Structure 1
Amino acid sequence: MHRIGFYVSSGFQMLDLAGPAGAFEAVNQQLGISAYRIQVLAAIEGVVANSLGMATPVASLDDAELDTLIVIGGPINQPPSADTQRRIVEASKRSRRVASVCTGAFTLAAAGLLDGRRATTHWQYAARLQRDYPSIHVEVDRIFCRDGDVWTSAGITAGIDLALTLIEDDHGFAVAKGVAQHLVVYHRRHGGQSQFAASVDLAPRNDRLAAALGYARDHIAETLTVERLAEIAGMSLRQFGRVFRAQTGTTPARVVERLRVDLARGRIETTTEPVERIAEAVGFGDAENMRRAFIRIYGQPPQSIRRAVRS
């Protein structure tokens, strides 16, 4: 039997907990055995209120015997105390694997459990995670990310995707697929979380980076090299790349690609323009380059999106 401990703190997101917990519960129902035992934990035993104000009984991290520790997301403005961080680290040492859902990555990061690792979090907070913890390699577009025995997931419902992968790791493909069918969710979700993010809302705090992004939007049909954007920002190429990643959590090339894909998708969904003309208008050059970008970000080509809208 696998013991799953969900660590929560005041104001935690209910769905961050209920989604993955429901997936593990479904395994027990599907197999007819207690494959998973679920505990809700906090720094000390008692009651913790979630973001809806509902009280949740919790056991102490110190007393937990765990196979998997999963840290649930919640408010990120106040990092856990040094004592709570210590308790999380100690619990992680007793666990086979450690994971986070949504902004739970900030708690793992504060405890030092993500140092030097690849990780992800909710797309809205990925840039902040990269800024606050520069030793982490934040992978903005991932639904979930594994680095050794540490797993992190993107925002909210991505916790279900994470749980399905952990279930598959424990019990195999067929069981995980059956759980997904029971929950009426995709077993393997297509595309990354960029498809849920409005890249045009990227707002780096640095005014010079903002100017470079504004230039990119205004000249989207042109060739937009990193060198040109660095020139607009008034920075050296090396400084521009470093500051850009620290501010946005990704590279200039990726952001330009997302700007182009966002603009192209709007035209794909609302016009009858030929795909080739749209690709040229937003700077992809040709339809094949745009198709590859759509598949990378949305998990499907432009023509499939257009057909889905029309139907």
Structure 2
Amino acid sequence: MKASLLTILLGLLTLSVSAQSFTEKITKEFSFDKKGPQNALMVFNINGNVKVEGYSGDKILVEVERTITGKTTERLERGKQEIQLGVSHQADTIMLYVNSPCNEFGKNVKNDRKGSRSWYSNRNRNGWGYLWSDRRDDDDCGSSKYNYKMDFVIKVPMSVNVMASTINHGDLDLSNINAAITADNINGSIRLKNISGTTHASTINGSVDVDYSGNPSGDSKYYSLNGDINANFKKGLAAQLTFKSFNGDFYSSVNEITPMAVTVEKYQKGEGIAYKVNGNRYKVRQGGPLLDFETFNGDVYLREVN
């Protein structure tokens, strides 16, 4: 009898703990007020996946699954109130972000708060990003009292430029896009499929996998700190190539790769002149846009496919 009662109590406790969760699906639809080749979608996620797929329509279709968990009802309700989908419509650019009292979102916000640091180092974000707060015990920063995740699934016109980023518990999947792509992750992988535009892909703990439907016409950069880079280009690739790694190797199925002469770049630095020597540059066939590959612990695989 005592064992049965204990089993019931443990079951009720498990139900109580598992009940402190909330999930909802948010759907949005957007159109650009000003249409043109500069149209861009920018997604700034923190916890969760981002999936963006190009299609033949002319609207941006957004689905976000928002999940909040907390150990008490009070904490759960606080998370539901504080964690929201943020939207900024800039006529030719649409930005989606996590609206939270802990991480202020804005443009070119200075570090004028004690215990804060900003995340604006990536020039491809055009100055937009979060102002982080490290004061995790502060009651004004409630996300230390609950957990949250936002998973984005988005459809965009194939000609729209896309910038997508996430930090924890998520991967980036971008496909069927014929415009410029910037993809930044910290604790996850990046997968780019059936793309043809200029590419900047960077992750800290994860792999970078790229499959081109058409080779990029502009300079592109691929970086992984702890992971491999797999880049599949179409037959007939012509480009300049650089590779840098601490514990990685470069492999390629392309035979027509030749080293280029050492170049010296001269530029202004402070009150003096600085010089940068580039000696690890190669040419694929007749040359073309620069493809810059860099890893720390990982290999690079460059292939040509039909």
Which interval holds the TM-score relative to the shorter structure?
under 0.3
The structure whose residues are more often helix, as a share, is 1
Per residue, is there more strand in 1 or in 2?
A: 2
Larger radius of gyration: 2
Q: TM-score, normalised by structure 2?
A: 0.28
